[in-house]
Every structure is written in C-alpha cells, then in structure tokens.
Structure 1
Amino acid sequence: MTTSSTALLVIDAQESFRRRDDWSTTANPAVLDNIALLVDRARASGDVVVWITHADPGSGGVFDPQNGQVRVMAQLGQDDAETALTKTTINAFASTDLHERLESQGIRRLVVCGIRTEQCCETTTRAAADLGYEVEFVTDATTTSDIAASGALAAVSGADIMRRTESVLAARGFATVTTTRERVGAATAI
C-alpha cells in the first residue's frame, strides 16, 4: 500500500495524438510542459502516477497498437515502475482495472490531466466522482482541438470546449478545477 492517498492520472498523453493533423492547432500548446510539472510534483510528493493510453485495436489508425503510436510521449519521462494501463473506452475505468488498483492502494483523491479535455479527461473525471473519489481537474494540463462544423452543427473552438468542460465539472460538483500553477506552486508553473 502506498503512503499517499493521491494519484495523478495522466490520460492519453500519447504519440497517437501527435500523429494527427490537428495536433499542430491544439488549444493548449503548453499541455505537455504542464503535465511534466505535475508528474514531477506527484513523484516528489510520493503520490502514485498512473499512465493511461487509449487503443483501438484493428482500426489501422494512430490508435491501433500495431502502428506503434500507443505509447506515452517520451518527453514526459514515464517510469516503468509506475502503473501503466491501456483502455479501449473513453472512460478509463470502464475497460481497465483502474478502480481496483486505486482502491488496493488506498487512493481516494485523483488529479486528472491529459489529452482531449472533453472526452477521456472529462468522462474519466465524471466516472471518478461517481465512484466516490475526490477529483482535482488540472485544466491547463489538458488540451483538445477544434470541432469542425458538420451539417447543422456549428464549429466549436478548442478553447471554448475547454471552458465548457471547466464550467460543467466545477458547477456540477464533479471536480475542483485548478491550474498547474495552483497545483505545483507559482514558481515552477508555465
């Protein structure tokens, strides 16, 4: 059992996204630097770090493990001794044993960061709250991309998606929304 009751969930910070055309226009270019700061802080605090990647086996795309992109971005410095899970659903709890692993270590507080603010990060945060975890959502350590207009649906900017996610998670009580600066201290945050 760990001595800390907190775990940092690093969700989908993987090469698959860097291979997508929309990576160059991500809403938060500082996301990887902020995730790295959170990882350093978690390790220094003795918190558990959990690396979660997304796979879509057999798809032939960037999320197909056969194509070699379903791996944490090297600059984040994943430690092989830390927990690493691969999910096949948006919610990291639904297709992994994440909940059981966290429970077995006495984890009750989660810090969430990663890629696709409104998808895997938000959905996992909501599920965690439903499971009784206290969740801190580090908004500037997440990012997403614009959604293009399609038929009757209007385009939505990545920045607007991020603001909406922050508002919903905080206002509906799913998480405390914070920033990297607030989490790690003003002196080290970007």
Structure 2
Amino acid sequence: MNSALVVIDVQESFRQLPDWEFVSRPDIVDQVNRLVCAARAQRHLVVWVLGSRPGSGTVFDPQRGHVRLMDGLDPAADEPLITKTAHNAFTTTNLHQTLTSRGIGHLTVCGIRTEQCCETTSRVASDLGFAVTFATDATATTPIPHRDASPETPFAQLVADPRTLGVADIVERTEYALAGRFATIRTVAELTGA
C-alpha cells in the first residue's frame, strides 16, 4: 500500500500565540524532520499543510506573514504544499484528490495541534477509507483553558488554573479517542526504527 506523511500546520503562526511557551513539544520541527527523512528514504509522499484564516486579522491571516512553515522545515520541490481554511486537511483542499490520484492508501499524520487539526484530519481520513497512523510525539499542543475561563485572563494564569486541561492529558485523551477507532498510535522512534 502506498503511503504518505501529512505534516499539518507546523507553521510560524503558532509561535506568535501567548500559549506557545507552554507547548507540549518545543522540538516539533526536529520530530517532524525525523519523519520526513524516513518517509523520503522509503519514497513515500510528503504533503505539507498550512492553516489559514484570510481576512481574520489574526496570526493565521496570510497578510500578517506568519502562515509559513517553521524554520528548519524544507519541502522538496515535488512535495505538495496545500493551504486549508478548516480544521481538517480535507474539507477545503484537494488533499483527497492528491492522495487518491497517487494511489495512497495509508497516511501518517503529524503536526499542530494534537487534538484539533491532527485528530480531526485523522478522523476524516479514516472515514474516507485511509489507514491512518497517528505519530503522537510528532504532534504538539498547548493547555486548553476551561470553557468558563475569561478570555482576558493572561495565559500564564490560565495554566495555573486547576480546571485547565494540561498537555499530557490532551495527548492521552486524543490517543484514547483515536486508537482502535480511527488510527494506530505510534511514536517517532517506532516509525523510524530509531
């Protein structure tokens, strides 16, 4: 079965957010690059995805200049770079066509955010018939404040709030939600043989 590595939203936008200092994987670029090297060595397709919110005025608005891959990531000339405007990488892009036209049946998913764009893409991919491997330690997330937390509260205070969901809990819950239903959970070491 032909395989592809899908790298989701490992982009400068996230470094601009106040929660980035609490990110689960500050080494996300290194982790992704390990997977990219392994995928290229096996002649698997690598697909790069950027998240964009045109006209929003946020760090996800392309006009702000942050909707670009983080430094240290270097797509090859023949590797697709697509831009999405939904949480999953399929709904607003030609990703499905790109994969099926190349006979891809298996995806390895990595990127930012573990429980949001990566998990959602994995679920949709599974529903579309792809076999999915979720590279859990090549995804990154940040703490999630309680739904009743004030948006004016500084993020450092939100992290100290016991109602805030920490990154380890987010990753664990995502793994539980995906495993055996939508994806197989693997680490970078397992996927690269390191």
**TM-score scaled by structure 2?**
0.90
Amino acid in the other structure paired with 1:5: N
Q: Which residue of 1 aligns with 2:43?
A: 46
Q: How much has 1:7 moved relative to structure 2?
A: 0.4
The equivalent position to 2:33 in structure 1, one of 36, 42, 46, is 36
Matched-pair contact (CA < 8 Å) for 1:72–1:78: no
Q: Which residue of 2 aligns with 1:168?
A: 177
Alignment of 1:110-121 (within 5 A): 110-121=107-118
Runs of 4+ residues deviating >6 angstroms: none
Q: Which residue of 1 aligns with 2:141?
A: 144
Alignment of 1:81-100 (within 5 A): 81-100=78-97
Amino acid in the other structure paired with 2:186: T
Q: How much has 1:109 moved relative to structure 2?
A: 0.4
Residue correspondences, number:
182
Q: Which residue of 2 aligns with 1:73?
A: 70
* Percent identity for Structure 1 against Structure 2: 51
The equivalent position to 1:107 in structure 2, one of 80, 84, 104, is 104
Tell me how far apart the structure 2 counterparts of residues 65 and 25 of structure 1 sit (CA, whole Å): 24
Q: How much has 1:87 moved relative to structure 2?
A: 0.2
**Structure 1 stretch displaced more, 84-93 or 68-77:** 68-77
Which whole-Å deviations, capped at 9, do the CAs of 1:105-148 have from their partners, x for residues lacking one?
00000000000000000000000000000000000000100012
Tell me how far apart the structure 1 counterparts of residues 11 and 186 of structure 2 sit (CA, whole Å): 23
**TM-score scaled by structure 1?**
0.92
1:177 aligned onto 2:185: yes
SS in 2 for 1:76: coil
Q: How much has 1:28 moved relative to structure 2?
A: 1.9
Amino acid in the other structure paired with 1:184: T
